[in-house]
Structure 1
């Protein structure tokens, strides 16, 4: 199968708002102290994880012929904000821990739901990027 490339280009002006036109969608990231027109980057990051898990859950359920009536994903990330504020810290700048709670509305036992969620998370690209190192290059243009 051919490699898929996903690309996003963002713009930021004088304020805190960051926008991107992605296909037919205008995405907005902002700060509460800015114009507060969107979620902040950390909230958006966690939303991406929850959205990916939800989407993969629907795919897996369809493939396995599981009647998935719905799924609610709650994601909590904890971090020490000292690093992102430029202050010294022994903690990572990013999240120290991310907890995922999945309320799976399907006729399955708790054990079956856990096995299903394991299969889903194993196939989720965003989840995988959190568990495994991903080469990230950066440079000014």
Structure 2
């Protein structure tokens, strides 16, 4: 490999990763990001989220020409029509994606080549909390289990250390595992005369 070629590991450009880390070390303000989602109720349990713009690395991002759209729905047993995955399923999707990406990123930083990686997530929830039928039942997931099937060119001890590190540094995993302030504010509209 010549110095002109960029080295990739696990599909990531290692030179770009090093440059990004150095830029943030030199200017920590570049690490501040603001991600945004907009949601529109359609009917019943169906609603649509759109995601396009975000702020990061010191500027508004303009690289996305179109929005990503996600339909939230519910299964019939929860009064829906299977219009899409429900929000707690999307949470599992977000958690799987974040833990996977964090694992891949930090494996690349450690010089570990991943050959195969898949996850299976199972979240248990008792909807009595949602329906306010039992005050002792928590609203939301009671437990989420992630089974990761991974093969990499490192020892079992290095792999265990990587997975522990990835769990501790996954933004979505940390958001789920610690209290995060969430506010809900009603937009007030002027009343017609």
How does the TM-score come out when normalised to structure 2?
0.68
> Does 1:32 pair with 2:75?
yes
Change (3 A) 1:133 1:63: same
Give the alignment's Cα RMSD to 1 decimal: 1.5
CA distance in 1, matches of 2:147, 2:156: 13
How does the TM-score come out when normalised to structure 1?
0.91
Partner of 1:119: 165
Q: Any idea what the Cα deviations from partners look like across 1:42-83, whole Å, max 9, x if unmatched?
A: 111111101101111111111111111221111111122101
Gaps of at least 5 residues in structure 1 are none
Describe the SS at the equivalent of 1:76. Answer: strand
Pairing partner for 1:5 from 26, 34, 37? 34
Q: Which has the higher strand share?
A: 2
CA distance in 2, matches of 1:130, 1:5: 18
CA contact (8 A) 2:119 2:146 kept: yes
Deviation at residue 120 of structure 1 after TM alignment: 0.8
> Does 1:132 pair with 2:174?
no
Gaps of at least 5 residues in structure 2 are 1-27, 53-66, 188-193
Q: Which runs of 4+ in 1 moved over 6 A?
A: none
CA distance in 2, matches of 1:25, 1:54: 20
Structure number with greater Rg is 2
Partner of 2:134: 88
> Does 1:54 pair with 2:83?
no
